[in-house]
Structure 1
Amino acid sequence: MTPTPPERDEPGAPDPVRPRREFLRNAALFTGTALALGGGLELLTRRPGAGEAAGEPLVQAPRPTGPYDTTEAVTPWAQATSYNNYYEFGLGKDDPARLAGGLKTRPWTVLIDGEVRKPVRVDIDTLQSWFPLEDRVYRMRCVEGWSMVMPWLGFPLAALLRRVEPTGGAKYVKFTALHDPDQFPGQHTSLLDWPYVEGLRLDEALHPLTLMAVGLDGRVLPNQNGAPLRLVVPWKYGFKSIKAVVRITLTREQPQTTWALAAPDEYGFYANVNPAVPHPRWSQATERRIGELRRRPTLPFNGYAEQVAHLYAGMDLHRFF
């Protein structure tokens, strides 16, 4: 059921599938696949007009440094938008950039429901207008053993959850992605149980690092990177950061998540980046930063241990992977 990952996490080991030339060859793919989006993305000084393209620069001022930002070099735009896992479009790293252009991200609504006092279904543009958008430069570590540094634009998930007022019964947050095989060719396969579902514990969702992204590098979020709304949880493996979110449900019970159902011995609910706990089929001790030749050590919690390790005090992090 689970595809073999395209990386071997061993220092100096060649990539067994899709070598480094893949993302170099695909560097220009995004220009041809960007989808024209409607307005509503308010970025610092102005709101883009209807018809501005995904990826069009919207912020010209220097990016401010925030309290959680990494100072590591940002992954170039061409690589960040052409080397993606997005199985709704296919298994190849270049499939999302080739095929995502037809995804319609307007109109788009998001339902927030479950254990909340103020459930709401809201248009994506209205949702974005509720919160000031923030730049966040985060490390991103894929469970396959590669990594990037991504300059997201979005709002803290905590701000949205406070607005809908969780009840005392809310313990978890379940996220559901769009299910539309007409737009997602990969959903015609039985690779996963669609729609894609992910989840967080409520305290994880409320952590200030947890972001709902609507932009990338000061630009409208490209379809292949999860437009129009993507979860970003930087201390967890990338598959937790669900794309194309259409529903956020607060629950009493831990939700059944897509990859944990597909391969429970390989992809746990927590999915915290932990170099000391190998995947059953490869090591997690090192990673290949996209754009670099040498591998580098993987950091516990992807370098965010100081901010989030307390959330897991007393837990066996070898067991709760």
Structure 2
Amino acid sequence: MLIRPRDNGFLHPFPSEITPRAAYTGRRALLRQLAGGAAGAALASWAGRAALAEEALYPPPGRQPTLPARRSALAGGVTMEKVTSYQDATSYNNFYEFGSGKGDPARNAGTLKTRPWTVTVEGLVHKPRTFDIDELLKLSAQEERIYRLRCVEGWSMVIPWAGYSLAELIRRVEPQGSAKYVEFVTLADKAAMPGVNSRILDWPYTEGLRLDEALHPLTLLAFGMYGEVLPPQNGAPVRLVVPWKYGFKSAKSLVKIRFVEHEPATAWNKTAKNEYGFYSNVNPDVPHPRWSQATERRIGEDGLFAKKRKTLPFNGYEGQVGPLYAGMDLKKFY
């Protein structure tokens, strides 16, 4: 496995803990002034490259088109917790198609072209079809939902997502009675996604849910975040958000949704079955083989040495989704 956390459980410091935005934008302005004077053309060239590199890692709000969404009234769809900064949420990512480093997606995902884009729905459904991304956007009104998203490496984010319940799409394709699971297949474009040329995972990246999990109203088909369309590094143009499970269950850049009778193989489960179970519900009582999951740290929260918070069962959504797993041994079905 390539995930090798240090003792504190993290590979890198978070962007917001390195340099405040005001500091680095001020530095860029100073460099431009120097470059216009005695520092000369060489400094101007260096300053330009540095500014471009910083902007790639720290994309400010307003870079993406807006995506208006009404505030969700769904129970469990909104939290009063402090929202993670846009800077952190868009520059500290797991998206292995663009590289295994946390900053790789922000650096490399600019090659992703999100138009034209289609999502094919197939398998055990009465009405299989292929949706254009703009058709998908119009299937239901966009709602803003503020969800937590938890990573197995011990960190979490709170993000205002825009989208609608996946159930809205599922109802339109009418699953057959034999459909018990939903498989999600993501884009695997070697030309646009440098990580797909690696052997880290079995490409394309696949994920899966039980049909009742997919139909739960909290399961979100997301098209935006922070009032804008999704940035490429966050799974543009459409992704899954399943807030009570670990983040890798929320597949990005979807191209296919398949309804099947049997539990589908999933990317991380195929790579390390003893570490990444099919369900992957957030459970403080089930440790990862190489670290505890009993505590977590919110990205950008009070520095690298802040006291961790206790992990909540089902990531805090137990009241909404706990009945889905009544009678199950959650240590066996992890």
- TM, length-normalised to structure 1: 0.87
Report deviation, 1:22. Answer: 7.7
Match of 1:250, SS state, is strand
Task: Tell me, yes or no, if structure 1 residue 233 matches structure 2 residue 250.
Answer: no
- Residue in structure 2 matched with residue 244 of structure 1 by the alignment: 253
* Partners of 2:254 and 2:209 in 1: CA distance: 14
Report deviation, 1:179. Answer: 1.2
* Partners of 2:329 and 2:72 in 1: CA distance: 37
Task: Tell me, yes or no, if structure 1 residue 17 matches structure 2 residue 25.
Answer: no
Task: Tell me, yes or no, if structure 1 residue 194 matches structure 2 residue 193.
Answer: no
Report deviation, 1:216. Answer: 0.3
* Partners of 1:177 and 1:223 in 2: CA distance: 13
The one-letter code of the counterpart of 1:303 is G
Match of 1:88, SS state, is helix
Match of 1:110, SS state, is strand
Relative distance call for 1:104 and 1:23 in structure 2 (3 A) is farther
The one-letter code of the counterpart of 1:149 is V
Match of 1:143, SS state, is coil
Task: Tell me, yes or no, if structure 1 residue 3 matches structure 2 residue 2.
Answer: yes
Report deviation, 1:34. Answer: 10
Higher-Rg member (1/2): 2
* Partners of 2:70 and 2:124 in 1: CA distance: 40
Asked if structure 2 preserves the Cα contact closer than 8 Å seen for 1:277 and 1:318, the reply is yes
Match of 2:121, SS state, is strand
Asked if structure 1 preserves the Cα contact closer than 8 Å seen for 2:239 and 2:250, the reply is yes
1:250-290 deviation per Cα after TM superposition (whole angstroms, max 9, x unaligned): 00011000100000000000000000110011000000100
Match of 1:131, SS state, is coil
Choose 186-195 or 17-26, whichever is displaced more. Answer: 17-26
1:73-84 matches, within 5 Å, as: 73-84=82-93
1:41-94 deviation per Cα after TM superposition (whole angstroms, max 9, x unaligned): xxxxxxxxxxxx7534454x9956643211101001011100100110111111
- Residue in structure 1 matched with residue 225 of structure 2 by the alignment: 216
Q: Which residue, out of 113, 117, 121, partners 1:112?
A: 121
* Partners of 2:55 and 2:10 in 1: CA distance: 28
* Partners of 1:103 and 1:30 in 2: CA distance: 19
Relative distance call for 1:229 and 1:283 in structure 2 (3 A) is same
Choose 296-305 or 16-25, whichever is displaced more. Answer: 16-25
Q: Decide which structure has greater helix share.
A: 2
- Residue in structure 2 matched with residue 264 of structure 1 by the alignment: 273
How many residue pairs were aligned? Answer: 297
Relative distance call for 1:23 and 1:196 in structure 2 (3 A) is farther
Asked if structure 2 preserves the Cα contact closer than 8 Å seen for 1:6 and 1:144, the reply is yes
Relative distance call for 1:309 and 1:30 in structure 2 (3 A) is farther
- Residue in structure 1 matched with residue 178 of structure 2 by the alignment: 169
* Partners of 1:261 and 1:319 in 2: CA distance: 17
1:1-321 matches, within 5 Å, as: 2-6=1-5, 8=7, 14-15=8-9, 17-20=11-14, 24=18, 31-32=55-56, 55-59=64-68, 63=71, 66-68=74-76, 69-292=78-301, 293-321=306-334
* Partners of 1:309 and 1:177 in 2: CA distance: 28
Asked if structure 2 preserves the Cα contact closer than 8 Å seen for 1:54 and 1:221, the reply is no
The one-letter code of the counterpart of 2:239 is R
The one-letter code of the counterpart of 2:118 is T
Match of 2:137, SS state, is helix
* Partners of 1:248 and 1:62 in 2: CA distance: 26
The one-letter code of the counterpart of 2:116 is P
Match of 2:98, SS state, is coil
* Partners of 2:195 and 2:16 in 1: CA distance: 20
Q: List gaps (5 residues or longer) in structure 1.
A: 9-13, 36-52
Match of 1:152, SS state, is strand
CA RMSD of aligned residues (A): 2.2
* Partners of 1:241 and 1:186 in 2: CA distance: 18
* Partners of 1:302 and 1:194 in 2: CA distance: 28
Asked if structure 2 preserves the Cα contact closer than 8 Å seen for 1:6 and 1:17, the reply is yes
* Partners of 2:132 and 2:54 in 1: CA distance: 26
* Partners of 2:131 and 2:90 in 1: CA distance: 27
* Partners of 2:54 and 2:250 in 1: CA distance: 21
- TM, length-normalised to structure 2: 0.84
Report deviation, 1:24. Answer: 3.6
Percent of aligned pairs sharing the same letter: 57
Asked if structure 2 preserves the Cα contact closer than 8 Å seen for 1:212 and 1:230, the reply is yes
